[in-house]
Amino acid sequence: MTGRTAFETQYGFARNAVLLSNWRESPFNRWSFQNVGELVPSTPFAASGGAEAPAQALGGLLDEKVALAAEPETVAAFLKRSDTDALTVLKGGRLVGDWFAPHMQFGARHIIFSISKSFTAILAGILEGEGVFDPDAPVASYIPEAEGSAYGDASCRHVLDMTVSLDFEEAYLDPESAFARYRRATLWNPGGGSESLKAFILTLQRLGEPHGQTYRYRSPNSDLLGMLLERASGHRIGDLLREKLWQPLGATSEGSIAVDMEGTARTAGGISVTPRDLARVGEMMRQGGMANGRRIVPDAWVRDTVSTGGSFEAWQRGTMAFLFPKGRYRNKWYQTGADSGAFCGIGIHGQWLYVNPKAEVVIAKMSSQPEPVDDRLDVELVAFFEALSRMV
């Protein structure tokens, strides 16, 4: 009788059970979210090459109680209940500790889904500071072929702040929706390869409402942002990530980003990095755009992004105001509106990069939640991050 392989022992299923048709479903996502490149075409972006400090346990912090649901539970219990794969916590720029689920090892990369949007916006801020990219310019000034689409009369600012009046819904679980066609164009679903990501995006049409009035979470905006940055700079996204962000940041591990049939980067959700390097991005933002004594992105851009910019009214008209009732959205980062000044990047299936300036805390959480979106759990997660910030 043939015994179970080491893979099956660790994950509870065979590698050949993970397919393009199910890689975002539980339990397969516990492996696939760390190995996206085996399923979807991807391109790497190199790190600075420095050595990473060894793993450091969170220790007694895991036994602290948090009151998030009906009964208080330990931090460790909540991490398991929220399908956490990895957690890294920084305080004042120093490592507090790491936590890993049994199926994720220290140093492994993990997809961050829509925190990729926040990374891409950082590139936009860098290029703006260099005078290469104008956030107030019309989209068509960089991509003339956008004329006739929803973006034909939109500005790059509308794209950055998710206020494009776009006739498109993020219907994650509807196989017959335009979103499913979008996923095929990204090569994330079976049946792709006949329509590129750019070709799909430029077929999208607008709603009757003017641009700029309502926050609408629409991922194609962020893929388009990557195309705008490539047109403005003349460089590919992978190269921009490496040269403008990853190596100056002092990231120690190579990252990767998914690409479509034409090599167009999936800037809306295709980046994979380690938890430590994700936390470094949050710390850079907490430090006003500085890392290792080097300016990465202009301070004015960071302040505008995390505290002063964005439309409260547009946010209130959107569908996510329940999560941050006093919040705003700017340059693909969420301002919570909390007294702590907390801000964050968020990705589906439980990816979070939470920064609490008042407490000087950065929390990177990578997860394999079964559902793409879980509103109830998201509310608990915000409360968890606030509680954890007080504990450390």
pLDDT one-digit tens code per residue, 175-221:
878 999 999 999 999 999 999 999 999 999 999 999 999 999 999 99
Segment 37-55 mean pLDDT:
94
Q: What is the pTM for the complete model shown?
A: 0.97
Q: How far apart are CA 64 and CA 86, in angstroms?
A: 18
In angstroms, the first-to-last Cα distance of the chain is: 51
- Tens of pLDDT along 104-162? 999 999 999 999 999 999 999 999 999 999 999 999 999 999 999 999 999 999 999 99
DSSP-H helix ranges across the chain:
6-11, 29-32, 75-81, 115-129, 139-142, 156-160, 178-185, 197-201, 220-233, 237-240, 247-249, 275-286, 299-303, 312-317, 375-391
Q: What residues are labeled active site? A: 114
What are the C-alpha distances in Å from 95 to residues 57, 100, 316, 365?
A: 10, 15, 36, 14
Q: How far is CA 105 from CA 1, 54, 85, 200, 231, in A?
A: 30, 12, 9, 37, 38
Cα 85 to Cα 95: distance, rounded to the nearest angstrom = 18
- Long-range contacts, stretch 342-346, CB < 8 angstroms, 24+ apart: 342/385, 342/386, 342/389, 343/285, 343/305, 343/306, 343/307, 344/385, 345/112, 345/114, 345/115, 345/117, 345/118, 345/119, 345/282, 346/114, 346/115, 346/378
Angle at 116 between CA 171 and CA 288, to 5 degrees: 135
DSSP state of 241: I
CATH topology of domain 33-112+236-391: Beta-lactamase (3.40.710)
Q: What is the pLDDT of residues 59-101, one digit of tens each?
A: 999 999 999 987 899 999 999 999 999 999 999 999 999 999 9
- pLDDT at position 353: 99
Question: To which residue do tokens 């700017």 refer?
Answer: 330
